[in-house]
Amino acid sequence: MSPSRLRARDLEAPSRGVRLHHEHTYADKCRSTLEVLHPRAFASGTTAAVLHGLPIPATLRDRLELAVPAPARAVRRVGVKARSLRIDERELTNVGGVRVTTLSRTWCELARTLTLPQLVAAADVAVRLVGVDRLERAATYHPDRRLHARLATALDLVDAASESPKESELRALIVLAGLPRPRVNVEVRDERGGSSPAWICCSRSSARSSSTRATIIGPTCDSGDAIARARPNSRPSGST
């Protein structure tokens, strides 16, 4: 390609040595950057999660998270969060022509970046794709032991019945606040055959207090039951 063509107005340069058409896909951007980064480089963390279809906040998608196998040193580059990871070749796969970490290893790496509720939301999707056993095995044998407690906490909060990331995050927040664990997306029917959600969560904050009152309405309790107090700034043991 001629130098003049490389400077064409329909091209953009997300990183040094990378030229992409304005209508490029996320996978195109990853693939092109990996080609100039390192012969054995791969996508991990949030970038691999996007390619696998896991829910990731939009604010974390712009910067690519790429890695190289340890002991190779991470390559610093504008627009790239680089890491050097201890990884087995069996923990790498190909998605859309991009070399990435497997879905279970990808989820484990998200523990470095996501909040605990966001990590639970990603796990709820992941278990529907690969099953909880793979996530548990990947978490148990992850080489970075600093992540083990966080991963174990997230796995304890997994519920594959959740139908949206925000629903998953809310459920995690409810449990981490010490409130009863809600059952999600379960229908209950009244004596007339009508149906309604099995669980409803309503919360309200008081201007004169630092606490939030939350009411959990279950299939066997009235609206006034199971009222609990949770301090917004409190952290449960094991959370970070």
From residue 171, alpha-carbon distances to 20, 45, 93, 157, 174 in Å are: 40, 23, 32, 8, 5
Q: Give CA separation, 219 vs 71, 195, 227, in Å.
A: 55, 11, 15
Confidence of residue 194 (pLDDT cuts 50, 70, 90): low
The pLDDT score that the predictor gives to residue 12 is 53
Query: What confidence score (pLDDT) does residue 8 get?
Result: 52
pLDDT at 90 over 70: yes
Q: Over 60: is that where the pLDDT of 29 sits?
A: yes
Residue 212 predicted with pLDDT over 50 = no
For residue 91, what pLDDT band results from cuts at 50, 70 and 90?
very high
Do 66 and 15 meet the contact criterion of CB atoms below 8 Å apart?
A: no
| Band of residue 190 on the pLDDT scale cut at 50, 70, 90 | low
In this prediction, residue 92 has a pLDDT band, given cuts at 50, 70 and 90, of very high
Q: Of the given ranges (79-83, 188-192, 232-236), which has the lowest mean pLDDT?
A: 232-236
Q: Is the pLDDT of residue 198 over 90?
A: no
| CA 30 to each of CA 42, 186, 232: distance values in angstroms, whole numbers, following the listed order | 9, 40, 38
Using a pLDDT cut of 70, give the percent of the chain over it: 67
Over 70: is that where the pLDDT of 139 sits? yes
Of 159-173, 195-209, 225-239, where does the model show the most confidence?
Answer: 159-173
Mean pLDDT of the chain: 78
